């Protein structure tokens, strides 16, 4: 948790005034927040409570015995804690999903480069708007689990491009401007000084090289 705190507060450039509560649930279905299949953890940013399966329970999935369970718990807790800290700055429900989930994947270094690369190669790569829809609507709009997972990867890379090119203050400027105006195109222009179409083009041009570089240095 302390490692996650350091990573998230640095990446988001924001120090929250208090700490979250983390509940570790040692068995499946004991905790109503964790009953959906495949859910490892959830955060309630309003109450600043994080629920997650403890590592010995079935719900926490498999881990590499050489690395130990904490190696796998760290990205999960970092992801959920990012949502908690995010809430202090802008309400998550007022953000594009690729921004809020992408940020949580970015801080936990979960870029899914293999999935993104195979999408690029087969022409299935999503636009940012499609990534938002895939995460927001999921099965309601017939997005498959693979498409939803790809959308998280796309979001993570898009957030990385923003952080590396414009910085975290521009990321929050975009989120706050969109929260205030609900006008996406003008918010992108205000925060980045380019149009949304130009940003999407920039992202499309940057993504393949970023993914190749990650795979070359062994990022999973």
Give residues in contact with Zn ion (CB under 5 A): 101, 104
Closer residue to Zn ion in complex, CB, 95/104: 104
CA–CA dist 2, 196 (Å, integer): 36
CB of 19 to Zn ion, least distance (A): 19
In whole angstroms, how close is the CB of 105 to Zn ion at the nearest point?
A: 8
The alpha carbon of residue 78 and the mean position of all alpha carbons in its chain are separated, in whole angstroms, by 10
Minimum CB separation of residue 80 from Zn ion in Å reads 7
Considering beta carbons, is residue 90 or 192 the nearer one to Zn ion? Answer: 90
Of 48, 46, 44, the C-alpha closest to 32 is: 44
Q: Are 184 and 178 in contact (CB under 8 A)?
A: yes
Farthest-apart Cα atoms in the chain, separation: 50
Tokens linked to 67: 């690395």
| Closest distance of CB 107 from Zn ion, Å | 11
In 3D space, the residue among 2, 11, 8 whose CA is nearest the CA of residue 45 turns out to be: 8
Which CB, 76 or 192, lies closer to Zn ion? Answer: 76
Of 101 and 133, which CB lies nearer to Zn ion in the complex structure?
101
């Amino acid at each position: 948790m302390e490692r996650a705190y350091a990573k998230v507060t640095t990446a988001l450039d924001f120090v929250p005034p208090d700490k979250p509560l983390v509940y570790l649930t040692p068995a499946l279905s004991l905790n109503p927040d964790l009953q959906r299949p495949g859910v490892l953890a959830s955060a309630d940013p309003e109450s600043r409570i994080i629920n997650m399966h403890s590592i010995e329970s079935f719900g926490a999935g498999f881990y590499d015995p050489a690395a130990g369970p904490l190696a796998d718990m760290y990205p999960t807790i970092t992801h959920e804690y990012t949502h908690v800290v995010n809430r202090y700055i802008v309400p998550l429900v007022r953000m594009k999903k690729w921004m809020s989930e992408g940020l949580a994947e970015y801080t936990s270094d979960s870029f899914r480069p293999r999935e993104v690369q195979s999408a690029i190669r087969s022409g299935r790569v999503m636009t940012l708007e499609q990534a938002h829809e895939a995460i927001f609507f999921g099965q309601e709009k017939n997005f498959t689990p693979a498409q939803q997972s790809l959308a998280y990867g796309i979001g993570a890379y898009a957030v990385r491009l923003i952080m590396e090119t414009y910085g975290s203050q521009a990321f929050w400027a975009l989120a706050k401007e969109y929260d205030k105006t609900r006008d996406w195109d003008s918010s992108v222009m205000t925060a980045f000084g380019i149009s949304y179409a130009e940003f999407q083009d920039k992202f499309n041009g940057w993504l393949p090289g970023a993914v190749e570089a990650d795979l070359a240095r062994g990022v999973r």
